[in-house]
Amino acid sequence: MNPYTLVTHPNDVLSTKTNDVKIFDERLRALVFDMKDIMIQNQGIGLAANQIGVSERVAIVESDTMINPVIMFKGKAVHCMEEGCLSLPGKRYLVLRPVSVTVRYQGVDGKSRIETAHGLRARIIQHEIDHLNGTCICDKGVEI
């Protein structure tokens, strides 16, 4: 049984910057497992820990885990696209974002990684990092 449920907007945990993860242990692996489960059950493609009420810098992007992610570089090309969010059920927003980003993060093993992503994956990464920084798409997009 998953101990977490989705948090919907408005909720203070969604508008507060999350804390860095410092301990990479079984509790963290269990959190990641539960996050992936919730994301899949709700047909999502990304999920940030604060969307389930946990104020830690953990994000799921597609099936990958990003802990303490930081965007190091944003490409100059931008694209406006419709986005939805599990914390804003039934709502859609047009959001302008860079088409490519380079992100540094840690895996559940604590090892540092760097990834350059393009297109939809870059958009998901930015969306989830926005959550971790206390920003929702309703804060930066136009509702449609």
**CATH for 115:** 3.90.45.10
- How confident is the model over 55-106, as pLDDT tens digits? 999 999 999 999 999 999 999 999 999 999 999 999 999 999 999 999 999 9
pTM over 0.95: yes
The answer as to whether 52 is a domain residue is yes
The answer as to whether 24 is a domain residue is yes
- Whether 1 shows a pLDDT value over 90: the answer reads no
The answer as to whether 1 is a domain residue is no
128 vs 84: CA distance, rounded Å: 12
The answer as to whether 62 is a domain residue is yes
128 included as an active-site residue: yes
The answer as to whether 3 is a domain residue is no
Catalytic residue among 82, 83, 128, 143: 128
Phi, psi of 115 (to 5 degrees): -135, 135
The answer as to whether 26 is a domain residue is yes
The answer as to whether 119 is a domain residue is yes
Q: How many domains does the chain have?
A: 1
- Residue pair 119/61 in contact by the 8 Å Cβ criterion: no
